[in-house]
Chain A
Amino acid sequence: MNAETATADAAPAKAPKPKKINFTQAYVMAMDEAMAADPRVILMGEDIADDQGGGVFGATKGLSTKYGTDRVRSTPISEQAIIGAAVGAALVGYRPVAEIMLMNFIAVAMDQVVNHAAKLRFMSGGQTSVPLTIRMATGAGAGFGGQHSDMLEAWFAHVPGLKVVTASNPADAKGLLLACIQDDDPCLFIENTLSYGVSGPAPEPGYIVPLGKAATVQEGTDVSVISYGTGIQRAQAAAKTLEAEGVSVEIIDLRTIAPFDEAAVLASVAKTKRAVVVHEAVKRFGAGAEISSVIHENLFHELKAPVERVGSAYAPVPFSPALEKAFMFSQDQIETAIRKTLEQK
């Protein structure tokens, strides 16, 4: 991933050197603020306490030293037990943040997520709720192969009762994770493995990004690119190329994938009349299909072209760099998709 693009919108030159943080620091900051504000915020996960390294990506570093290992506990490698314990504690008022080291590992705990966390509020008739946050790293491009790289957001987005969130820059990462922890519903928070060290402008203390609200990354008039997470930087790069050709691209960062900000998406596309939906996840049956359908259902007669989708190839994430590149969605594909929407005037 490209560090330059994340830092592109830094403050004006004459201001004092803007403070920057990377994604890892953003996650630590969010959990630190949440824990300081509410003693019922607890963290659990494999190797997350400082004696075990503060998380394999360092995203909980310092927190067990500051808040104690009662509140920041390293667990056995037992994903069902981790999520189950988090669900149980959440039922009686705790706000657990469970770190599932890599998103593929959540498959081991799907029963707890789908049959329990997602449904207990509804099945209890609102008597109980599960204010739980599950943090998971993932993403292709790191050479981790088929079981450490999948983007599985569509699995969870299709389950009523779950919220799915991901950030495209460190400030959002901090603000969205804090919002997830404070939210009364189970939230799945996707972190990108390759982005932990990527820096961007630091948010102010207390900075929070409301769930369910998209951001307009850049305004444009010809086509709307709707994306999230790792899609945003590639969309920005594609937009820059097309800008040179006189194409004005609007970029919407969903930030919350489920439930997504339909109003913001529809308002943007109602303006530009063209849309491209972009994500790293496999294109077939991906979240982009839903977003594209919602646009078609609402704006069919106003569209100047069918909505295009960009996603990764229909294959497990391969190991070989040559194949991984072939798998991964790309800036080129985004540019091609945008051009396709522009063919029809």
Chain B
Amino acid sequence: MSPAHIIEPDQATMLDIYRRANLIYRADEKFRAMILGGQLQIIYYSPRGQEILSASLMAAINQDDYLVTTYRGMHDQLAKGIPPRDLWAEFSGKATGTCKGKGGPMHITHPETGVMVTTGIVGSGLPIANGLGLASQLEKDGKVTVVCFGDASTNIGAFHESLNMAQIWKLPVIFVCQNNLYGEHTPQAMSTGCKELIDRAPGYGIRGVQVNGNDPFAMYQVAKEAADYARAGNGPTFIEAKTFRFFGHLLGDDSHYIPAEEMAAAKLADPIPAYRKALLERQIPEAELDAIDAELAAIIAEAAQFALDSPYPDADEIRHDVLSQEIAA
């Protein structure tokens, strides 16, 4: 599935991926604990299981590159560099959040880290990503736009219109399908006629690459190659990155529709412990990983506390940001 020849990145990059992935892992763990513990009442789409994919992808692009993602996007947002406390406060609906509490978990925006849109509509990020890519192409600013979406998005019209337009205009856009094999509760085989999603790419004449998204070095390499390809003016790439999610479509979903043996096999291949093991095998000292873990734990604890301590937005805020000038509500 993944490219035949994987060149492993340098040790600094390996640790960078480790840091990003475990930041997501710890944030998710804390979010679930707070929601299930009654400290936070939000709809939550856990990215547990997809951390390595995002971490490797975002490590392969620059912070000023654009990102468009979807409601299951916390892994992408943290991996892209949004400060955890700002993200946490937004997830909690607080005035100190990235969007003053007006967007919430499904609508995170943070232009400083290139996170331009998070959409709650399946497939709708792809047409917008083309526009960001078009702007970069016209500006000649060398940026790429990464747009992340799930496997189910490949069945909606916006996907098809977008891949076609990106290819005819040679836009610097990387379409990353995070294929966790289920669209809400429906398995891919029930909703998609073609066997592999990557089979869609040739129909649009677009460069397509299939990769095990849970393999950090393969994912990093594929993303880097797509970014280089786009920056060189060659146009878009469609990446199908296979992955898995452990906590259902949204938290509280018991994944009853996933066969037990499939879930067991996925847990056995959990990419988070697997990556730690891979780094230890590459002679990275355990103490170094432990130190990163401790640092991340402190960052997440601080972010969660910051969100808890922050005020809700003033009711007056409803009148602002509807239009450029305020009109009566």
The proximity string for A residues 120-132 relative to B, scoring 1 for CB distances below 8 Å and 0 otherwise, is: 1111111111000
Nearest-Cβ distance from residue A47 to partner chain B, whole angstroms: 15
Instruction: Pick the contact of B157: A80, A83, A185 (CB < 8 A).
Output: A80
Q: Is the pair A91, B132 in contact by a Cβ cutoff of 8 Å?
A: yes
With the chains together, A259 CA to B322 CA distance in Å?
Answer: 12
Across the two chains, which residue of chain B brings its CB closest to A162? B323
Q: Is the pair B109, A127 in contact by a Cβ cutoff of 8 Å?
A: yes
Across the two chains, which residue of chain B brings its CB closest to A84? B127
Q: Is the pair A121, B322 in contact by a Cβ cutoff of 8 Å?
A: yes
- Contact of A70 with B by CB under 8 A: yes
Across the two chains, which residue of chain B brings its CB closest to A44? B134
With the chains together, A4 CA to B303 CA distance in Å?
Answer: 68
Residues in A with CB closer than 8 Å to B168 are: 76
Question: Of A29-37, A108-116, A165-173, A194-202, which binds chain B?
Answer: A108-116
Q: Is the pair A75, B321 in contact by a Cβ cutoff of 8 Å?
A: no
Across the two chains, which residue of chain B brings its CB closest to A129? B324
Nearest-Cβ distance from residue B111 to partner chain A, whole angstroms: 6
Give 5 CB contacts A-B under 8 Å.
A78-B165, A81-B127, A116-B117, A127-B109, A183-B324
Q: Is the pair A81, B164 in contact by a Cβ cutoff of 8 Å?
A: yes
Instruction: Pick the contact of B131: A70, A90, A163, A185 (CB < 8 A).
Output: A90
- Contact of B107 with A by CB under 8 A: yes
- Contact of B135 with A by CB under 8 A: yes
Q: Which of A74-126 contact B (CB under 8 A)?
A: 75-76, 78, 80-81, 83-94, 96, 111-112, 115-116, 119-126
Q: Is the pair B121, A184 in contact by a Cβ cutoff of 8 Å?
A: no
Q: Is the pair A124, B99 in contact by a Cβ cutoff of 8 Å?
A: yes
Q: Is the pair A126, B127 in contact by a Cβ cutoff of 8 Å?
A: no
Assess A42 versus B138: contact at CB under 8 Å? Given A84-B127, A90-B131, A111-B124: yes
Residues in B with CB closer than 8 Å to A18 are: none
Q: Is the pair B109, A78 in contact by a Cβ cutoff of 8 Å?
A: no
Residues in B with CB closer than 8 Å to A316 are: none
Residues in B with CB closer than 8 Å to A206 are: none
Q: Is the pair A123, B127 in contact by a Cβ cutoff of 8 Å?
A: no
The proximity string for B residues 84-124 relative to A, scoring 1 for CB distances below 8 Å and 0 otherwise, is: 00000000000001111111000101110000110111001
Q: Is the pair A92, B98 in contact by a Cβ cutoff of 8 Å?
A: no
Assess A163 versus B323: contact at CB under 8 Å? Given A81-B158, A111-B121, A123-B107: yes
Assess A120 versus B165: contact at CB under 8 Å? Given A111-B158, A128-B116, A161-B323: no
Q: Is the pair B126, A184 in contact by a Cβ cutoff of 8 Å?
A: no
Residues in A with CB closer than 8 Å to B124 are: 84, 111-112, 115-116
Residues in B with CB closer than 8 Å to A126 are: 100, 320-321
Instruction: Pick the contact of B323: A85, A94, A259 (CB < 8 A).
Output: A259
- Contact of A321 with B by CB under 8 A: no
Q: What total of A-B pairs shows CB separation below 8 Å?
A: 146
Residues in A with CB closer than 8 Å to B101 are: 125
- Contact of B128 with A by CB under 8 A: yes
Nearest-Cβ distance from residue A186 to partner chain B, whole angstroms: 9
With the chains together, A125 CA to B96 CA distance in Å?
Answer: 11
With the chains together, A121 CA to B100 CA distance in Å?
Answer: 12
Q: Is the pair A83, B127 in contact by a Cβ cutoff of 8 Å?
A: yes
- Contact of B302 with A by CB under 8 A: no
With the chains together, A125 CA to B126 CA distance in Å?
Answer: 22
Q: Among the interface residues A85, A92, A116, A161, which one has the most CB atoms of the partner chain B within 10 A?
A: A85
Q: Is the pair B161, A80 in contact by a Cβ cutoff of 8 Å?
A: yes
Question: What number of B residues sit within 8 Å (CB to CB) of A?
Answer: 45
Instruction: Pick the contact of B111: A73, A96, A128 (CB < 8 A).
Output: A128
Q: Is the pair A89, B164 in contact by a Cβ cutoff of 8 Å?
A: no
- Contact of A160 with B by CB under 8 A: yes
Question: What number of A residues sit within 8 Å (CB to CB) of B?
Answer: 44
- Contact of B129 with A by CB under 8 A: yes
Q: Is the pair A80, B135 in contact by a Cβ cutoff of 8 Å?
A: no
Residues in A with CB closer than 8 Å to B132 are: 88-89, 91-92
Q: Is the pair A92, B116 in contact by a Cβ cutoff of 8 Å?
A: yes
Q: Is the pair A128, B131 in contact by a Cβ cutoff of 8 Å?
A: no
- Contact of B190 with A by CB under 8 A: no
Contacts A73-B169, A84-B127, A115-B119 supplied; 10 other A-B pairs, CB < 8 Å: A70-B138, A75-B165, A83-B127, A88-B134, A89-B131, A116-B119, A125-B99, A126-B100, A129-B324, A184-B324
Across the two chains, which residue of chain B brings its CB closest to A184? B324
Q: Which of A143-192 contact B (CB under 8 A)?
A: 160-161, 163, 183-185
Across the two chains, which residue of chain B brings its CB closest to A132? B131
Residues in A with CB closer than 8 Å to B157 are: 80
Across the two chains, which residue of chain B brings its CB closest to A183? B324
Across the two chains, which residue of chain B brings its CB closest to A124? B109
Q: Among the interface residues B101, B121, B132, B161, which one has the most CB atoms of the partner chain A within 10 A?
A: B161
- Contact of B327 with A by CB under 8 A: yes
Nearest-Cβ distance from residue A295 to partner chain B, whole angstroms: 16
Q: Which of B258-306 contact A (CB under 8 A)?
A: none
Residues in B with CB closer than 8 Å to A42 are: 138
Across the two chains, which residue of chain B brings its CB closest to A259? B327
Nearest-Cβ distance from residue A25 to partner chain B, whole angstroms: 27
With the chains together, A81 CA to B323 CA distance in Å?
Answer: 24
- Contact of B214 with A by CB under 8 A: no
Q: Is the pair A87, B128 in contact by a Cβ cutoff of 8 Å?
A: yes
Across the two chains, which residue of chain A brings its CB closest to B99? A125
Q: Is the pair B109, A128 in contact by a Cβ cutoff of 8 Å?
A: yes
Q: Is the pair A88, B324 in contact by a Cβ cutoff of 8 Å?
A: no
Across the two chains, which residue of chain B brings its CB closest to A108? B157
Nearest-Cβ distance from residue A257 to partner chain B, whole angstroms: 14
Q: Is the pair B128, A125 in contact by a Cβ cutoff of 8 Å?
A: no
Assess A88 versus B131: contact at CB under 8 Å? Given A121-B321, A185-B324: yes
Instruction: Pick the contact of B110: A73, A90, A127 (CB < 8 A).
Output: A127
Across the two chains, which residue of chain B brings its CB closest to A71? B138
Instruction: Pick the contact of A88: B127, B164, B327 (CB < 8 A).
Output: B127
Q: Is the pair B165, A76 in contact by a Cβ cutoff of 8 Å?
A: yes
